[in-house]
């Protein structure tokens, strides 16, 4: 791991406006005009560093902001506040031509291969498009070679190029989606739940493919998932997110051996394992609060069995623990947990 991170996210925040235009915000109540603004706080101050060659996994339940983080890094969403740096250069403010070189260095793989491939394009066209776009000077033969190359590397027969997406199974489609990402020789790939829509036996195939590609091309991954069993297998480091915040960040081994944050502990205990016996999980009280009205203090305090007054008022920051990770929890900091 090199000292300077490949991707550096600083104080990232993203809000999605719920109320729309000014006129929609104004209402007449009790003889007075009132203006009400509501927003979904999808990410609230996330700091993450991705180092070259690693696979950083971001886990969390639906609505925790993990996909928003992925999309903001890729520039598909612009952050409300905070910065995204790539190789030391700030990229979230770049536009148009200035952003182009980064677009080919960073690629994304989406969750649903049924939706992410254009149904009206053949596989050949799908794979040629990014190459044409980033290397307009390449000759036809060069492009063709490249396409055949990536198809072979993901285990899709190059002769199938004239087929359309619907002619392939889910696993094959996801291979094609991976091939499309690899076509421009990226160094950093953001994968947003790439295997969640696939069957178990196919999941293993795609995970193996991604690991092979990482080895042969020296890729760096940001892997978004809700499946902790996959993380244990795939990730070098894990960031656990809850309600738009990172609550624990640790090397995979340390996280699975000694989870520190109460939420991480509950999450780990909920994985259905093959071992004998009944599910022996930590019961959390209540439900995830809405990201429209965030609770004050630690976002997890409403469900945390160890919450005290400080947790209800003060937002915990990440701090380094002795097991090599970072955790945002007052209880751990005070030595109560």
Partner 1 sequence: MALLEVKNLNVRFAVRGGDLTALRGISFSLDKGERLGLVGESGAGKSVAAFSILNLIAQPGYIAGGQILFEGKDLAAMSERELRKIRGNRIAMIFQDPMMTLNPVLTIGTQMVEAIKAHRRISTKDARAIAVDKLRKVQIPSPEKRLNQYPHELSGGMRQRVIIAIALLLDPEIIIADEPTTALDVTIQAEIMALLLDLCEQENVALMLITHDLGVVSQVSQRMLVMYSGRIIEQGPTREIINDAQHPYTQGLINALPQMGEPGARLFQIPGAMPSLKNVPTGCPFNPRCSFATDECRSTMPDYVRAGNVDVACYEVERLIAQEQQAREVAP
User: Where does this chain bind partner 1 (CB under 8 A)?
Assistant: 61-62, 169, 171-172, 199-205, 207-208, 211-212, 226-230, 232-234, 252-253, 266-267, 269-279, 281, 283-284, 287-288
- CA 162 to chain CA centroid, Å, is 32
The tokens for 141 are: 């033969």
E-only strand ranges, the chain:
7-17, 26-29, 32-35, 39-50, 55-59, 81-86, 89-90, 106-109, 188-192, 220-225, 237-242, 245-251, 319-320, 326-327
DSSP character for 251? E
Is the distance from CB of 179 to CB of 151 less than 8 angstroms? yes
Query: 246: closest CA among 261, 229, 236?
Result: 261
Compute the distance between CA of residue 186 and CA of residue 188 in angstroms, rounded to an integer. Answer: 6
Residues facing 52 on adjacent strands: none
Taking the CA atoms of the chain, what radius of gyration do you get in angstroms? 22
Is the distance from CB of 15 to CB of 44 less than 8 angstroms? no
Nearest-approach distance from CB 67 to partner 1, in angstroms: 14
Compute the distance between CA of residue 243 and CA of residue 290 in angstroms, rounded to an integer. Answer: 8
Through-space distance between the first and last CA atoms of the chain, rounded to whole angstroms? 31
Tell me the CA distances in angstroms from 300 to 43, 67, 155, 241, 308, one per residue in order: 14, 20, 44, 11, 11
Compute the distance between CA of residue 295 and CA of residue 300 in angstroms, rounded to an integer. Answer: 8
| Alpha helices, H only, 106-157 | 123-134, 140-153
| Location of structure tokens 């498009």 | 129
């Amino acid at each position: 791991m090199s000292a300077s991170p490949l991707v550096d996210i600083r104080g990232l925040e993203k809000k999605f406006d719920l109320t729309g235009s000014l006129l929609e915000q104004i209402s007449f109540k009790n003889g007075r005009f009132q203006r009400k603004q509501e927003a979904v706080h999808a990410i609230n101050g996330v700091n993450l560093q991705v180092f070259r060659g690693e696979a950083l996994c971001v886990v969390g339940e639906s609505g925790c902001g993990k996909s928003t983080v992925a999309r903001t890094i890729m520039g598909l969403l612009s952050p409300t506040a905070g910065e995204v740096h790539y190789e030391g250069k700030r990229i979230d403010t770049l536009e148009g031509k200035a952003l182009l070189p980064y677009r080919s260095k960073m690629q994304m793989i989406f969750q649903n291969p049924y939706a992410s491939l254009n149904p009206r394009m053949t596989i050949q066209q799908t794979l040629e498009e990014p190459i044409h776009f980033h290397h307009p000077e390449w000759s036809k033969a060069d492009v063709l070679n490249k396409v055949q190359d990536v198809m072979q590397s993901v285990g899709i027969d190059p002769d199938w190029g004239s087929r359309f997406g619907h002619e392939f199974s889910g696993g094959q489609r996801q291979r094609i989606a991976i091939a499309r990402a690899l076509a421009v020789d990226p160094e950093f790939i953001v994968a947003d739940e790439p295997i969640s829509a696939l069957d178990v036996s196919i999941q293993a195939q795609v995970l193996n493919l991604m690991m092979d590609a990482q080895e042969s091309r020296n890729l760096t991954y940001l892997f978004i998932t809700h499946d902790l069993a996959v993380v244990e297998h795939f990730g070098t480091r894990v960031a656990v997110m809850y309600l738009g915040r990172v609550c624990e960040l640790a090397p995979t081994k340390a996280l699975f051996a000694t989870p520190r944050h109460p939420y991480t502990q509950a999450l780990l205990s909920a994985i259905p394992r093959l071992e004998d016996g009944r599910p022996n999980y930590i019961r959390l009280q209540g439900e995830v609060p809405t990201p429209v009205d965030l609770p004050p203090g630690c976002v997890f305090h409403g469900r945390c069995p160890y919450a005290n007054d400080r947790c209800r008022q003060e937002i915990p920051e990440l701090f380094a623990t002795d097991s090599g990770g970072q955790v945002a929890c007052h209880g751990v900091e005070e030595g109560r947990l």
